[in-house]
Chain A
Amino acid sequence: MNDKSINYPSSHAGIKQGKADKILFNGKIYTVNEQQPWVEAIAIKNGLIIALGHLKSMDEHIDQQTILIDLEGKFAMPGIYDMHTHPDLALAPGYAGYLDVGLDNPTPDDVKNAILSYADENPGDGWIYGQYYVQFTFKKEGLEMGREWLDNIISDRPVAILDRSWGTIMVNSEALRLANIDKNTPDPNNGYIERDSITNIPTGILVDGGYALIHAAMPPTPMHALKRAYRECIIYQTGRGVVGTKYVHVCEHRLNAMKAIDDAGEMTLRVEAAISWQDDIFPVKRRWELISGERHFYRSDRLNANAVKFHFDGTHGVKSSYLATPYEGDTSWRGSLNMTPEHLNDMLIDMDRKGIRVIAHCTGDAASDLFLDAIENARKEGYNRMRHQCAHSTVLLDQNLARFKQLNVTAEFSPVGWYPYPFANARAEANGSERAKRLYNFKGVLDAGGIAVVGTDWPVSNINPWIGFEAMITRMNPDKNDDSKFHGEAISLEQAIRVMTINGAWCMGIEDKAGSLEVGKSADLIVLDRDLFEIEIRGNIHNTHVELTFLEGELVWDRQGKFNESKFKAIWHNEIPNFYDGME
């Protein structure tokens, strides 16, 4: 929070006089500190824990200003961490106010009328972008799709309409002009620009990767949509007990949106934002400025952009994850990399020197092997500053399990794909039987002394972190109708709690001041509606409700609104956003 009136403590100023601000008591508090695993009460001052133990031993910390909060015997633990998620990609397009024809099978006339009324409602020369048209209805009427059809409707401002199957986009001549697409423009590798077969002039139909050319020319996702997406996600996460998260893939506009939320005092968790190293999701126009120092302007105790994220390999679904041995049924195909290992080596050294964490998308076991090699090279040359992050880690080589500890690297497992359901089963099938045994190998990394963390990778898997939490311990579907077990080995409840708490703090580089409940650390804790140590795990962790979330001793979530009338009323209470049907 950058509120100028805030009381920032320093060596010789800002330390509040008096005793504890708050004491939480009568709780069953699991601290994630092996020296003192269970306590009944916690004393908090200036957002930090100053004592743990029994309330009766805390007299010395109580004065007239101390607020006593009765936890009523409930279970509490440190707040949890989601180390890889994308609220902007999940929500912002839906909030952007783009054109939506809004009919099941719109005719060309329906599309035309929708474009014209959108133009009336949004006057000016801005882009008209939206969905969708249906190829069938054009053919049925014997009409040619393309720029000429659109130019006859509107020619003085850019228009781009997606088709229903999302394989193509139809644009008018003005859109082609603004995107610098003409007969000499080369095709992108994962798509093409449809052209007249004789003249080579683009027809206005762009296929697959072809529409990235249009997106690059369009204004960024509007600020209001980005802000709303991040804000709603922050409310949701706070309500689920998340105190630290990483918003992976950002640009200057996304950072501006986050800063606006932070400045308004609504950033109720710690966010590490990772600047996109590539332009494959959206263009990052100020990438190099951000990396060389502009990122510091966003920095507060809640927000930093001291990380970069890139796609080293692809995904198993389209066999582009980079594997150590060929895919099953193939003799040579191992997947592919989006940049050379040499590029990675150089960028890793450069980023480590700058104090920027490198978060590498590595779904295949050879991608992570190369990533670890690059880090080993950098370490040998003396670049030991940053704790880098191997993102997804879908499948790892057994030989690499010990390297996470040796090289000071986080093994981040995401999205939640370690229990049987169609998404995870498809990954297992694409990997083949030998590799399936090594999928999401939390146990392997932990047994070798390494740090494993979890990311929801929303919208790839559900934003609710408690689903993956339960499945780490069961490797089973929380839905009790399915009794099958997923590949790989489960971990214990205690291990899973560490993965969700202190390991997250470690992954953000704040394990000395957060992630467990100890004297001197930040008072980040959550009070649950159930005791994780007293319930049958299967079917009972994924639907946990977080009653209270404290961040730096401040109440930020109050599920029942119990403290709505008090002077420490929670910033978020009672209602949690519901992003899609059937979400717990």
Chain B
Amino acid sequence: MSELNSKIPVTIITGFLGSGKTTLLNRILNGNSGRRIAVMVNDFGEINIDSQLVVSAQQNMISLANGCICCTVENDLIEQLHNLLTLREGPPEFILIETSGVSDPMKVAHTLKYPQFRDKLSIDSIIAMLDAEQFSQLIGEQEQVAMCQLAAADIVIINKTDLAEKEQIIELKKQWLFPKARAFETAFADIPLELLLGLEHEKHQQTLTSELNGLVTCVDAQCDHTEHQHDKLFSTFSWESNKALSLPKLRRVLKELPNTIYRAKGIVYLDCVKDQSCIVHLVGTRINIEKGPDWKGKKPSSQLVMIAWDKLNKANLTKALETCIA
């Protein structure tokens, strides 16, 4: 997966003021994910970094001891992305971009696909956070902005569920969520980092289960997150085949996956691209299949790993994927 890995994954986080974006970003910046993450925010106003972590601070860029960087987008995303890509200590391993509460995340996503960036950056996902209680009261321009944010989102985080009535959440889902939308409900912006950052690196994939157990935090606010049984919450599924797959069939099956599957990753052997491997990257409703490296004498085969936030019917999944065989 070297070609895909040479691009820096970028996750865009969108949501209105008060939806919990800053709480989440503060946790990432002050935590220890083991990765050099650059967090781009609109301004430092709400950002709260443990001063002991600060290694250096320039006008619009703060470097932290855990390898993270926090910088402001100011009004030129393009220039600030250039700055991050040309850092003296090397580019970050992961970029998180917070979009302001009133802006359209699609504009940021479009910028990342411009010719000058698309070989260096890849969109991992767009995540929309919404405040369960506030979201039912949007009108006029706010409603239009909410539409932009949700239209762009691959995963929807419904936050502050502790403050909302059950009926409110049901109504919110009915009014706002798409048929295949991946919606994760939580309180206190308590989101598993792997949901956000994915499993781009092979080392993470090899130790998938243990990583999950180590990193995943719980939606239960009373839980201390240490010795907790997470198997109930997350499950993984993997599938292999050495027969060539049909691209349209594979796309259809991936599109129809259960809503609980929020990430899938893998290499596939397609009948329309026989000489090269193809790489599948699925986050929520984002499905991307791209050409990867040549097989180089290796026997072509497909390997897919999927992660869900609930139990999976593995037999059904296997059956569905087998229909993709050309």
Contacts and interface: CB of A to CB of B under 8 A. Distances in A.
B104 A139 contact: no
Contacts of B79: 319, 327, 330, 333
A406 to B, nearest CB: 35
A165 B107 CA distance: 9
A136 B147 contact: yes
Interface stretch (B39-47, B109-117, B193-201, B215-223): B109-117
29 contacts: A105-B147, A135-B106, A135-B151, A136-B148, A136-B150, A138-B151, A139-B151, A139-B285, A140-B178, A142-B179, A165-B104, A165-B106, A165-B107, A189-B115, A189-B116, A192-B118, A197-B288, A197-B291, A198-B247, A198-B278, A198-B289, A207-B110, A208-B110, A208-B114, A317-B75, A319-B79, A327-B79, A329-B60, A333-B76
B272 interface: yes
Most interface-central of A136, A317, A319, A330 (chain B CB within 10 A): A136
A167 B272 contact: no
A330 B291 CA distance: 37
A187 interface: yes
B273 interface: yes
Interface string A105-144: 1000000000000000000000000000011111110100
A198 B151 contact: no
B290 interface: yes
Given A140-B178, A192-B115, A198-B278, A430 B75 contact: yes
B180 interface: yes
A329 B60 CA distance: 7
B264 to A, nearest CB: 15
A164 interface: yes
Interface in A370-404: none
A105 B74 CA distance: 31
A138 B279 CA distance: 27
A165 B247 contact: no
Given A187-B115, A197-B291, 7 more contacts: A105-B143, A142-B180, A165-B106, A165-B148, A168-B110, A189-B116, A197-B288
A191 to B, nearest CB: 7
Interface size class of A (residues with CB under 8 A): 20 to 34
B272 A198 contact: yes
B229 interface: no
Interface in B78-110: 78-79, 82-83, 104, 106-107, 110
A13 interface: no
A167 B103 CA distance: 12
Contacts of B289: 197-198
Contacts of B179: 142
A318 B76 CA distance: 6
Sorted nearest first, the 8 A-B pairs with minimum C-beta distance are A136-B147, A135-B151, A136-B151, A319-B76, A142-B179, A139-B178, A207-B110, A197-B290
B144 interface: yes
Q: Which of B113, B118, B147 has the most CB of A within 10 A?
A: B147
Nearest to B285: A139
A208 B148 CA distance: 16
Contact of A134 (B59, B147, B291): B147
A198 B114 contact: no
A547 to B, nearest CB: 41
Contact of A167 (B78, B82, B104, B180): B104
A142 B110 contact: no
Nearest to A333: B79
A439 B106 CA distance: 34
Interface string B263-291: 00000001011000010000001001111
A167 B76 contact: no
A124 B107 CA distance: 35
Interface in A174-209: 187, 189-192, 197-199, 207-208
B144 A329 contact: no
A198 B106 contact: no
Given A189-B115, A198-B290, A167 B110 contact: yes
Contacts of B60: 329
A269 B315 CA distance: 80
A330 B150 CA distance: 33
Given A187-B115, A191-B114, A198 B107 contact: no
A138 B285 CA distance: 14
A138 B114 CA distance: 24
B115 A198 contact: no
Contacts of B74: 329
Contacts of B152: 135
Contacts of A199: 272
B117 to A, nearest CB: 10
A429 to B, nearest CB: 9
Nearest to A199: B272
Nearest to B150: A136
A139 B156 CA distance: 14
B10 to A, nearest CB: 16
Contacts of A105: 143-144, 147
Contact of A190 (B83, B114, B151): B114
Nearest to B278: A198
B107 A167 contact: yes
Contacts of B178: 139-140, 142
Contacts of A330: 79, 83
A138 B148 CA distance: 12
Interface string A315-328: 00111000000010
Contact of B291 (A165, A189, A191, A198): A198
A217 to B, nearest CB: 21
A198 B110 contact: no
Nearest to B116: A189
A198 B180 contact: no
A191 B78 CA distance: 13
A137 B113 CA distance: 23
B63 to A, nearest CB: 15
Given A189-B116, A329-B59, A167 B106 contact: yes
A136 B153 CA distance: 10
Contacts of B272: 198-199
A190 B76 CA distance: 14
A151 to B, nearest CB: 17
Interface in B115-166: 115-116, 118, 143-144, 147-148, 150-152
Contacts of A329: 59-60, 74
Contacts of B83: 330
A435 B137 CA distance: 44
A44 B82 CA distance: 64
B105 to A, nearest CB: 10
A330 B80 CA distance: 9
Contacts of B76: 318-319, 327, 333
Nearest to B148: A165
A323 to B, nearest CB: 13
A140 B151 CA distance: 8
Contacts of A136: 147-148, 150-151
Interface centre among A165, A187, A207, A317 (most CB of B within 10 A): A165
A205 to B, nearest CB: 10
B88 to A, nearest CB: 11
Q: Which of B79, B82, B247, B272 has the most CB of A within 10 A?
A: B79
Contact of B113 (A165, A192, A198): A192
B210 to A, nearest CB: 32
Contacts of A137: 147
B286 to A, nearest CB: 11
Contacts of B113: 192, 207
B58 to A, nearest CB: 9
